[in-house]
Structure 1
Amino acid sequence: MSAELVERWFGAGFAGLHPLLQQLHRQGGVLQGEVELATGSGLAGWLGRRLAAKLGLPLGARRVPLRVDIHSDEAGLHWNRRFAESATLVSLFRPVGHWPDGHWEESTGALRLALKVDSHDGGWRWVPIAAWVRGLRVPLFLLPRTTAYKRIEDGRYHFFVGFSLPGLGTLLSYSGGLELVPAVVAEAG
């Protein structure tokens, strides 16, 4: 599995990814930079702050440093995120089938999501298709809507993750442009 995991899952579609995304998923790496955190207002903001606390995102700051360690091994694709000095938010993605009909299953804490991939313009967007909480299937309409994508802009890894609820709007989002950190610097950090 390991280094070729994403390439094997995408098959011929891997060539459609931007070369920097191809490199990241072939070799793994550390992305680092400053991101913007935003919450909604009123009830949406209150819910967004509660969600941020559950995810370990620092509250009270609008811009924070983020470090994402990305690698593949026999278990799957690992995305370990650390916002400022918070605890590491660990996600493990396991491939199911192959692109374009397959999906990935992301496990983060008690939540597991089945995510299709919509690939265009060299990037990709995650599209939730099923969810489980503590192993029990949960209808997607009971969870906040998730919007998540990554692409390359001006040589940087640009991403967006947002959560919203119908009628309330945005609960929480975080986004930014991250730089690939050279291996020597990444190991020291």
Structure 2
Amino acid sequence: MCLAGPEGATAAFAVTVYARLLGETGMAALAPECRALHAGDGVFHGRITVEVTRNPVLRAALRLAGFPPAVEDAELRFEKRGRGARDVWTRSMAGQVMQTAQWATPDGKLAERMGAMVAMCRLVPAQGGLDLVDWRFRCLGLPAPGWAAPKVSASERPDTGRYRFEISIGLPWGSAPVLCYHGWLDVAQAADEGG
């Protein structure tokens, strides 16, 4: 199966994890901006803001998990590459790099490894984009019980040539998020740098 990518992206490529999970119907439900990002390998540029809790213990835990420090409207370089059954996402911002690996679980969920933690969720097409729902977590290979698992809200939406993303992560017993990041990627000007 070969899906059309953004201008300048690789013409023929392996199907991404997102495309495998969504299938042809799910991919067709995405607006062109979101479909361009999930269709294949490529490099995208945009802006990102990362807001992090002021609690020093939680900040240290987030850094150990591989999350970036707080930045305001920073330049973002986002690269995605297929590696067999996995996709590798590399986000570079304000001199920091965050790299994660993604794959499809046997029960049809997206899994993403961030350091010692694996987050799993379901992809739901919504308003031309996606909502990521039903989050579950494993840490050091062990499932995190519901009372200890982070609360996550995550979505992506199209915005006239841009792919917009918004993610919020909170503690199960708290109301304020400990980490939020949001921004956009210019999918119309994507390039497949360094094939």
TM-score by shorter chain over 0.5: yes
Look up the equivalent residue of 1:89 and give its one-letter code.
Answer: M
Cross-structure match for 2:191? 183
Distance 1:47 1:122, change over 3 A: farther
Cross-structure match for 2:22? 10
Is structure 2 residue 138 aligned with structure 1 residue 125? no
Q: Secondary structure at the match of 1:142?
A: coil
Cross-structure match for 1:63? 73
Cross-structure match for 1:141? 147
Deviation track 1:65-108 (CA, whole Å, cap 9, x = no partner) reads 2221113231312211122111x2221111135xxx72111112
% identical aligned pairs: 26
Cross-structure match for 1:91? 100
Query: Partners of 1:130 and 1:31 in 2: how far apart?
Result: 28
The count of corresponding residues between Structure 1 and Structure 2 is 178
Look up the equivalent residue of 2:44 and give its one-letter code.
Answer: L
Per the TM alignment, residue 124 of structure 1 is displaced from its structure 2 partner at its CA by 0.8
Look up the equivalent residue of 2:177 and give its one-letter code.
Answer: T
Distance 1:103 1:126, change over 3 A: same
Distance 1:164 1:47, change over 3 A: farther
Query: Partners of 2:115 and 2:38 in 1: how far apart?
Result: 23
Query: Partners of 2:29 and 2:177 in 1: how far apart?
Result: 31
Unaligned 5+ runs, structure 2: 2-12
CA contact (8 A) 2:44 2:190 kept: no
Query: Partners of 1:177 and 1:148 in 2: how far apart?
Result: 14
Query: Partners of 2:36 and 2:58 in 1: how far apart?
Result: 34
Distance 1:50 1:77, change over 3 A: same
Query: Partners of 2:20 and 2:169 in 1: how far apart?
Result: 30
Per the TM alignment, residue 177 of structure 1 is displaced from its structure 2 partner at its CA by 1.5
Cross-structure match for 1:49? 59
Query: Partners of 1:32 and 1:140 in 2: how far apart?
Result: 36
RMSD over aligned Cα atoms: 2.4
Per the TM alignment, residue 128 of structure 1 is displaced from its structure 2 partner at its CA by 4.1
Unaligned 5+ runs, structure 1: none
Q: Secondary structure at the match of 1:127?
A: strand
